[in-house]
Amino acid sequence: MAKHVRCGSLFTGDADRAETGWTLSYDDAGTITHVGPTEAAPPVASTDTVLDYSGLFVMPGLQDVHTHLAYGNAKTEEDIDLYQPMEFRALRGMFFAQKVLAAGYTSICAPGDAGQISLAIRNAIDWGLFDGPRVTAAAQYITTRQGLTDWYPTWIGVPDTSIGRLVTSRDEAIEEIRVMVKNGVDCIKLAMDGTQTRPDGELIAAFNQEETHVMVEEAHRLGRKVVVHAVGREATLYAARAEVDLIFHAYHLDDECIEAMLKSGSAIGPTMTLQRNVIDFTQPHEPAAIKGRQSATERLYERACVNLRKAREAGVTMMTGTDSGFAVTPYGEWHALELEIFVRDLGFTPAEALRCATSVTSQFMAKGGKIGVLEPGRYADFIAVEGSPLENIAILQDKKRIRHVHIGGRRMQVDDRGYDPRQVTDRSWSNWTELYTQEHVRTVRARRLGLAAE
């Protein structure tokens, strides 16, 4: 009982163009048996099924290497860490994983979530309890003092429900890695820099070079890949020298960092979508604008584009991810914007961007050798799109154009169900964004009177 997909156009994931008049065939187990010209396809038996996608663009399912399933479209760090119980976060994460699936993403990496939330979602999907994308799961970020996720005052510490796990020595770091591996993670996440800067403004790495080497070496010894958060130059350099598998951001990299990445094989996941959305979506009254984050992000974005272009031109591998899970990067909404950014701002061709989002990014995923490319022996994970993303990469952001999503050959159908974020996510107590001194009140009242007079 094989299935045969008649494709209008077919992009295999590792080519420069799409083919026309091709057929994709797969068996009962969801494994591809044929990809090629229809005239060379296996004959259709009486028990087989033929799917007519002849008016559609068929390609491998898209992949996002940076989607935090436990964040819940958070507006604050407290939303992420504190204001929902772990059990609810897991249920919520499953709901949002299906939003990602409906957007055409058949495989994601959840690189750093509280507890074992992403592991639980991964297992529930893998074991057939729920439909969802294939999940490559990490546990908490491993962080140290002043590193990312160590954002609460020292008199509070890092709560057990946080997305971070604080370590204060190499022995503690090794122990955490071993516990995470015992619990079944696919990869280890290190918070390589945070908020501390030198007088010249350069970010200081949270871990030194020796500590980084020790952690990466132990994770690799135990058969796990390593991903790091590294915005600053120093953290990026230490990570590349330690031969980490994937570096998120790397916005301040320089020639020394590029040389180290080319030597180690470390890839970059730029994750530009979050930064772009902060710039484009933040409104003047919101804290991100009031505190200057919007303008600072715009300067960072411009610098990142210059540096990442240099890295691309030098041959550094780049993978697609979005940092979905925040209020400005809601699940299922902006994943494919990263591809447009790759083309518009980083100099990729549409075909190169599609390869980054399929065959290239699959190299980091847990089942990387079985996904990302449409070829015999791999899983039949594919999508059928109305229109050609090779002609207009932005069409992948139009969810109505994602006509069919298949994982292991089975068509996924997810209800488009809404929810009330005030109950699901927005739990932190933030009633005002301004300080209402007498002087400020007079200003506000005068402004209101002026508007009323107009």
Location of structure tokens 């933030």: 430
pLDDT of residue 454: 64
Q: Encoding tokens for residue 210?
A: 């020796």
Q: How many residues does the chain have?
A: 454
CA distances for 82 relative to 325, 359, 415, angstroms: 15, 37, 29
Q: Which domains does the chain have, with CATH numbers?
A: 62-335 (3.20.20.140)
Sheet of strand 225-230, all strands in order from the earlier edge strand to the far edge: 164-166, 141-143, 187-191, 225-230, 246-249, 267-269
Render the burial of 88-119: b for 16+ CB within 10 Å, e for the rest: ebbebbbbbbbbbbbbbbbbbbbbbbbbbbbb
pLDDT of residue 414: 87
The 3 state secondary structure assigned to the chain is CCEEEEEEEECCCCCCCCEECEEEEECCCCEEEEEEEHHHCCCCCCCCEEEEEEEEEEEECEEECCECCCCCCECCHHHHHCCCCHHHHHHHHHHHHHHHHHCCEEEEEECCCCCCHHHHHHHHHHCCCCCCCEEEECCCEEECCCECCCCCCCCCCCCCCCCEEECCCHHHHHHHHHHHHHHCCCEEEEECEEEEECCCCCEEECCCHHHHHHHHHHHHHCCCEEEEEECCHHHHHHHHHCCCCEEEECCCCCHHHHHHHHHHCCEEECCHHHHHHHHHHCCCCCHHHHCCHHHHHHHHHHHHHHHHHHHHHHCCCECCCCCECECCECCCCCCCHHHHHHHHHHCCCHHHHHHHHHHHHHHCCCCHHHCCCCCCCCECCEEEECCCCCCCHHHHHCHHHEEEEEECCEECCCCCCCCCHHHHCCCCCCCCCCCCCHHHHHHHHHHHHHHHHC
Q: Encoding tokens for residue 319?
A: 């993978």
Task: List the chain pLDDT tens, one digit each, 454 residues.
Answer: 899 999 999 999 999 999 999 999 999 999 999 999 999 999 999 999 999 999 999 999 999 999 999 999 998 888 889 988 999 999 999 999 999 999 999 999 999 999 999 999 999 999 999 999 999 999 999 999 888 888 888 888 889 999 999 999 999 999 999 999 999 999 999 999 988 899 988 999 999 999 999 999 999 999 999 999 999 999 999 999 999 999 999 999 999 999 999 999 999 999 999 999 999 999 888 888 888 989 999 999 999 999 999 999 999 999 999 999 999 999 999 999 999 999 999 999 999 999 999 999 999 999 999 999 999 999 999 999 999 999 999 999 999 999 999 999 999 998 888 888 888 888 777 777 777 778 988 888 888 887 666 6
pLDDT of residue 423: 87
pLDDT of residue 453: 66
pLDDT of residue 375: 97
Whether the Cβ atoms of residue 229 and residue 189 lie closer than 8 Å to each other: yes
Q: Sign of the C-alpha dihedral, residues 19, 21, 22, 27?
A: positive
pLDDT of residue 451: 67
What angle is formed at CA 363 by the lines to CA 361 and CA 367, rounded to 5 degrees? Answer: 105
